Structure 1
């Protein structure tokens, strides 16, 4: 099934606000594509058909408190064993007696206990009914007597001991219940997963809980019955409490699939554990990795959202810092961004002789800090630029974007007002304030600012484009499309209008026309440096949505990566295309790559989340290959 991802031309919270639609639009469109498809990989949000049929949508419903793991829909029915086959046979018969048979009072402390109903003809064998406070196991036969008992008698003795353990459990006498379950395990010839699982439940109720022993008992239960859902859930809960979230995700994932996606609490637990796991790993990565620039496509899009201004001029007797700053701007013009960063850092360290050039240096360094995701560092540098040169309008505009990314919209609008006080005729102010209004979905205000910017400078293509996009977002489709046709005539040699117009056509499912526009954009931009690879990814999405042409879409994304090896939207799209083909191992590699390219903590958390959700499903199908056919059938019915 082909997800339809509308071209939402706004910057997401995890990307700078300033990029024009070329970055903000496709990054958000691709993010939308990912967010829609995360239901394909976040359990309980996913079904994988192991035959290669791919992923299928599953929507979870509202559920109760995630801490109560005892509401599994396929849990062992009262009077039944742990096997799912027996559960199905006894489900209807047992439903009316459910409340009486299950141990009450466990609440949110863990799953409920199970009971085993022995065959009627075997119930005349000796029973162990005494529940005396003293010597409550005194009537259990000694080892020699046990040796003389036949298998049936010993198994029934074990079942009776289990029953006694259940009663003790209901009275919250967990230590004695453990002794009963332990004795049941010792005397029984036929080992039953229930004995281990019920003992595991006791360990979770100890003070403090003994989660490691719970895990060990659940391991034993699952060796006897690997589809034993209650043991899976108990182990998952214990693993989560031990901080072993990756293993917990695997068990909750298995529970969700085995339960046919009806266990909402297990689905919620998957997402909860994934979130904790991803946040923990993201924090570890951010603490150790070196700052890294995003892709040239991303940087170019950001920089192109500002009208170019003259390179800082060298003073009559330039210092070493002045000369190094000049090299930084030369590298910037040549799209050699890594050297631009190195040079501007050196220039500031060496010392710059004029205030204007020093303000330019801090502006440039702050810009790059913003691009690598260091918003606080960017704010400090841009503020330093303004302390040196208070009328530097571009620094006001950029610090407004930083404040928005930091969640401080009041300061952002204050920055725009300060910029207007210094130069009310600077068109960049209104374009970027329009972007903020756009993000806030205040489209009337956004369009007013775009029009103001265009009135001051009609040659800046992005104000025209963004105004047309805002009209589209308002629902004025006819006016928006007419505006784009006008833009195409006014800027015939620019690739951007064709790309964005193609996005709107794609949103309307006018696939052939959208492909023609993306091709035109690719042709017009072929000499651009750095080359804009976003039309390649847009075309890939169009091919996939129209013809389910995964091979063609894959080739286009690979082409984008040949041009820009760090294009994050191409990587994200390839991950999703791999999932659609059921190539989870390949998708995992792309998610790992996406994590390497992540600019912010939010982007990193998303990539790690998808990576480990996919890994959990690979682990499930490796351990439960027999479920592949069931998953395929379930998928076809969704």
Structure 2
């Protein structure tokens, strides 16, 4: 576990910011419809013939009896026997052309009524025939005829899904605001696993319905989940594993106290020497080189058990960071078999079990580590991290305190103790712990950064920005590359305090110039783009997030935002007359 796993940095500040904006992204800006009021009452309310929903005000709803489309045609008032017989008459094109317009309209209405009755009688083939005749006869194409025929195609056994889509296409070409046809096409596309198109339609239907239809909003969420899970699984199964950003990796390794290099045997092998070079590259924060060297060392062969355990620990750590949880577990387990007292491997394999959701085994690993070395301060610090993540803040604080009592010069134990105190509601005590930590570690950037976050959480913006600036100053004074988390946090603080999006973005852009794979900076830029209704740029940032995501859970989240934003952009492109209202409303929700 790293300090960044539990400190309120990106996890609390950015995640909170994201969660506040999630629904606005997914549903395309809900309040826009409310702000539009009567202006959003669709054109379909005034079109000739109206929709089934409108005509429902004048007609009786038929019994569904288990049909597959809850929005199917309504049961019309019973027509006369003459009208029914006329409706069954197949007319030639010449006969239709010779009919007066009024008679054609009347006959089309009768055919539609006959089709509705057939639909409610579950005679879907006959219903299709009636609606098809109505389409032929009517002098002016009616979207409801196509929509009703689509409902009949949907309920056939087997359903004729492609015909459903074609008829919905026809209905929407006549009236793009026809919500029933949008929902029907969306449902059919979902059944065909065409999730991107289905999401597009459900999103449009949700907005056009003024966000009053909870079922439509749930459909958006459901399809997003299917789409993101499918995309994430495909990406995880095919992409090459690689290290996450320098910011992430350095935070992980910083959470372990430095240890001396292993003592080589009198006559070291090539693999032994390569292992030392791998550990030296790790000390120099040259992580890609360290990965290459430790792999080479293991392939070349390491002559002593302690060295091989060290190498497997390091390789397993890199595998864990690259998302290869099973490979990490295998390497760390082998490391422990070689040297059972190697507590760092016990601590790291506990992290692996946590990643797999096995909390009990994780704590068992900590107990095993304590049996071998009860005075190893790392054990208590990382057990505190696990307890923190599971919201056991009081027990976490006890472990941080124990870690500090064993070794007081490890800055993260002090930081996490303050954060745990804050989470328990002991604000005064937490702030005092942070102030003493600042005094004890004047040249470390981390206390400044995390103290700034607690100040930001209390909306003490000026003081928070001062702490972030000091953290940035200390980081710049160190040999590169710099940890850019304070830059991202400053951007969030600037935005929350002054709504200065340009200044906030400048912080994140600078962070990415230093660390191009800094996921918190990418995530924040994506959300800031949504604030400005720059949906195309937000999509670009979310796509970048999918490239940087380490785990499948992170990947699913990034893909969800990417495609939700894409659906919103599709709506703006398809309904440009609503773009300004939707943009204003999306900003209002965030």
Q: TM-score, normalised by structure 2?
A: 0.93
> Are 1:443 and 2:393 matched, yes or no?
yes
Q: How does 1:344-355 map to 2 (within 5 A)?
A: 344-355=294-305
SS at match of 2:259: coil
**C-alpha distance 243-599 of structure 1, shift in aligned 2 (>3 A):** same
CA contact (8 A) 2:332 2:345 kept: yes
Correspondence for 1:83 among 23, 37, 44: 44
> Are 1:552 and 2:503 matched, yes or no?
yes
In structure 2, distance between residues paired with 1:151 and 1:637: 50
Which residue is 2:577 aligned to? 626
> Are 1:19 and 2:19 matched, yes or no?
no
In structure 2, distance between residues paired with 1:186 and 1:315: 92
In structure 2, distance between residues paired with 1:506 and 1:607: 25
SS at match of 2:122: coil
TM-aligned CA deviation for residue 465 of structure 1: 0.8
**C-alpha distance 250-454 of structure 1, shift in aligned 2 (>3 A):** same
> Are 1:105 and 2:64 matched, yes or no?
yes
Correspondence for 1:34 among 8, 11, 18: 18
SS at match of 2:409: coil
Q: TM-score, normalised by structure 1?
A: 0.86
In structure 1, distance between residues paired with 2:588 and 2:415: 43
Q: How does 1:11-410 map to 2 (within 5 A)?
A: 18-21=1-4, 24-29=7-12, 30-43=14-27, 46=30, 83-85=44-46, 101-105=60-64, 109-114=68-73, 128-130=83-85, 138-410=88-360
Q: Output the aligned Cα RMSD.
A: 2.7
CA contact (8 A) 1:400 1:416 kept: yes
**C-alpha distance 127-477 of structure 1, shift in aligned 2 (>3 A):** farther
CA contact (8 A) 1:295 1:567 kept: yes
In structure 2, distance between residues paired with 1:35 and 1:425: 41
> Are 1:530 and 2:455 matched, yes or no?
no
**C-alpha distance 459-401 of structure 1, shift in aligned 2 (>3 A):** same
CA contact (8 A) 1:103 1:113 kept: no
In structure 2, distance between residues paired with 1:45 and 1:626: 15
Which residue is 1:492 aligned to? 442
**C-alpha distance 541-250 of structure 1, shift in aligned 2 (>3 A):** same
TM-aligned CA deviation for residue 209 of structure 1: 1.4
Q: Alpha-carbon deviations, 1:517-545, whole Å to 9, x = none?
A: 10011111213343110110010000000
TM-aligned CA deviation for residue 21 of structure 1: 3.9
Shifted more, 325-334 versus 584-593: the winner is: 325-334
- Which structure dedicates a bigger proportion of its chain to helix? 2
CA contact (8 A) 1:44 1:261 kept: no
Correspondence for 1:414 among 361, 364, 374: 364
Which residue is 1:61 aligned to? none
CA contact (8 A) 2:531 2:586 kept: no
In structure 2, distance between residues paired with 1:47 and 1:296: 40
- Unpaired runs of at least 5, structure 2: none
CA contact (8 A) 1:102 1:113 kept: no
TM-aligned CA deviation for residue 139 of structure 1: 2.7
CA contact (8 A) 1:22 1:534 kept: no
TM-aligned CA deviation for residue 90 of structure 1: 11
TM-aligned CA deviation for residue 483 of structure 1: 1.2
Q: Alpha-carbon deviations, 1:316-338, whole Å to 9, x = none?
A: 21112112111211211111111
> Are 1:479 and 2:429 matched, yes or no?
yes
Q: Alpha-carbon deviations, 1:333-367, whole Å to 9, x = none?
A: 11111111111111111110000000000000000
Which residue is 1:574 aligned to? 525
In structure 1, distance between residues paired with 2:32 and 2:319: 40
CA contact (8 A) 1:111 1:201 kept: no
In structure 2, distance between residues paired with 1:326 and 1:244: 53
**C-alpha distance 307-150 of structure 1, shift in aligned 2 (>3 A):** same
TM-aligned CA deviation for residue 144 of structure 1: 3.5
SS at match of 2:84: coil
Shifted more, 143-152 versus 409-418: the winner is: 143-152
